[in-house]
Amino acid sequence: MKINREYDYLIVGAGFAGSVLAERLASQQNKKVLIVEKRNHIAGNAYDEYDEHGILVHRYGPHIFHTNNKLVFDYLSQFTEWRFYEHKVLASLNGELYPIPINRITLNKLYGMNLQTDEEVKEYFQSVREEKNVILNSEDIIVSRVGRDLFEKFMRYYTKKQWNLEPKELSPSVCGRIPVRTNADCRYFTDKYQFMPKEGYTKMFEKMLNHKNIKIFMNTDYKKIMNDVRYDKMIYTGPMDYFFDYIHGKLPYRSIRFEYENIEHEYFQSTAQINYVDDSFEFTRVVEHKRLSENKTTTTTISREYPQINGEPFYPIPTYENKMKYNLYKKESAKIKSILFCGRLAEYQYYNMDQVVSRMLNMLKDNAGLI
């Protein structure tokens, strides 16, 4: 296949990283961009679509937009209207439901206490927390905040299921993502901007990529066409090890199998997401998708998440060994001046959506030519 038109940029991947850069380069710098996406859709892991029951489902796990970054919010607001949404998660432990992140209500229900103020909760944590001089891993960070019992109950088994590693084998940043509250705030996030794209993420991406300078090849692995396309520079947002033909071995990414079920009831569970934090179930969480959008349907669709090693790469696995291996790839990538490696897969970083958008916008600010 020969593609005669010449492009300024070949962008691999139509997720947030690839799409934000494509949109900016096309609309602000009048660059001609070809996006190559191996899946049959845009939006990367934020992809959502209506299932056959009329319910908007997130195909790669629940994607909740939250940010404190006004620039990111304003930027994305050009392509979507928003619906106010604050995510609330419950943890299922031995058949009982508790607010997660751990807060005052969690403690009172779990231990039959009657803590009334932030001060009392702080004192409680103080009495059970383990002193750590250095925080080396995900176990250290949690036991140093809330003590061993809460760590064992809410974090240990969920983490083991999610990563197939003990928390002490993972960087503190993994479990450290989850805050600990002394108040009764049951929201999963406390960011200033918490919204969902009114018509879904895919529609937002469609608007972003609808530009005369942007062309997209779907269902195409970039390796199949890269020698047939004429382009100046490449932006790569796929996995680093694949790009370099695994010369330093496979870089582990964690994957998930999503099991969908439609249920003949209006609702299935009391909140959008329930985390199964003990080891009685193999899945980590159950998401009720219509609670993430404005769907009014008589049935409901849920998905159960079964983490696994094989399959689509979703999560970089933040261990020391993996970071060392990634650094070998990073050194290789630094030798290639005409290719920019960015995004969650290529940078091997556990980024949220807003972090990726912010990084891409900053990159453009710092260097108008990018690479």
Binding site residues, ligand UDP, CB under 6 A = 91, 100, 154-155, 158-159, 162, 174-175, 177-178, 275, 277
Nearer to ligand FAD (CB atom), residue 182 or residue 301: 301
Q: Which of 63, 13, 48 minimizes the C-alpha distance to 352?
A: 63
- What is the bridge-based pairing of β-strands 48-50 and 214-217? unpaired
Nearer to ligand UDP (CB atom), residue 30 or residue 173: 173
Instruction: Kindly state the smallest distance separating residue 19's Cβ from ligand FAD, in Å.
Output: 7
**Cα–Cα distance between 158 and 153 in angstroms, integer?**
9
Answer with the entry of ligand FAD, ligand UDP, none that 277 interacts with (C-beta below 5 to 8 A by kind).
Answer: ligand UDP
In the stretch 117-136, what mask flags binding to ligand FAD with x, by CB under 6 A?
--------------------
Instruction: Kindly state the smallest distance separating residue 148's Cβ from ligand UDP, in Å.
Output: 14
**Cα–Cα distance between 253 and 350 in angstroms, integer?**
11
Identify residues 5-64 at the interface with ligand FAD (CB under 6 A).
Answer: 12-18, 36-39, 44-46, 60-64
Instruction: Kindly state the smallest distance separating residue 16's Cβ from ligand UDP, in Å.
Output: 15
Q: Are the C-beta atoms of residues 275 and 285 closer than 8 Å to each other?
A: yes
Nearer to ligand UDP (CB atom), residue 236 or residue 276: 276
Ordered DSSP codes for 80-133: --EEE---BEEEEETTEEEEES--HHHHHHHHT----SHHHHHHHHHHHPPP-S
Identify residues 260-319 at the interface with ligand FAD (CB under 6 A).
Answer: 314-315
Instruction: Kindly state the smallest distance separating residue 38's Cβ from ligand UDP, in Å.
Output: 23
Q: CB 320: neighbour CB atoms within 10 A?
A: 12
Tokens of 159: 């983490």
* Chain length of the chain: 371
Instruction: Kindly state the smallest distance separating residue 275's Cβ from ligand UDP, in Å.
Output: 4
Answer with the entry of ligand UDP, ligand FAD, none that 275 interacts with (C-beta below 5 to 8 A by kind).
Answer: ligand UDP
Answer with the entry of ligand UDP, ligand FAD, none that 174 interacts with (C-beta below 5 to 8 A by kind).
Answer: ligand UDP
The alpha carbons of the chain give a radius of gyration, in whole angstroms, of 22
Nearer to ligand FAD (CB atom), residue 69 or residue 299: 69
- What is the bridge-based pairing of β-strands 273-276 and 89-93? parallel
**Cα–Cα distance between 67 and 72 in angstroms, integer?**
8
339 φ, ψ to 5°?
-125, 130
Identify residues 193-252 at the interface with ligand FAD (CB under 6 A).
Answer: 221-222, 237-238, 242
Q: How far is CA 248 from its chain centroid?
A: 26
Answer with the entry of ligand UDP, ligand FAD, none that 46 interacts with (C-beta below 5 to 8 A by kind).
Answer: ligand FAD
Cβ neighbors of 72 (< 8 A, separation 6 or more) are 354, 357, 358, 361
Among 344, 348, 359, 363, binds ligand FAD (CB under 6 A): 344
Residues that bind ligand FAD (CB under 6 A): 12-18, 36-39, 44-46, 60-64, 221-222, 237-238, 242, 256, 314-315, 343-345, 351-354, 356
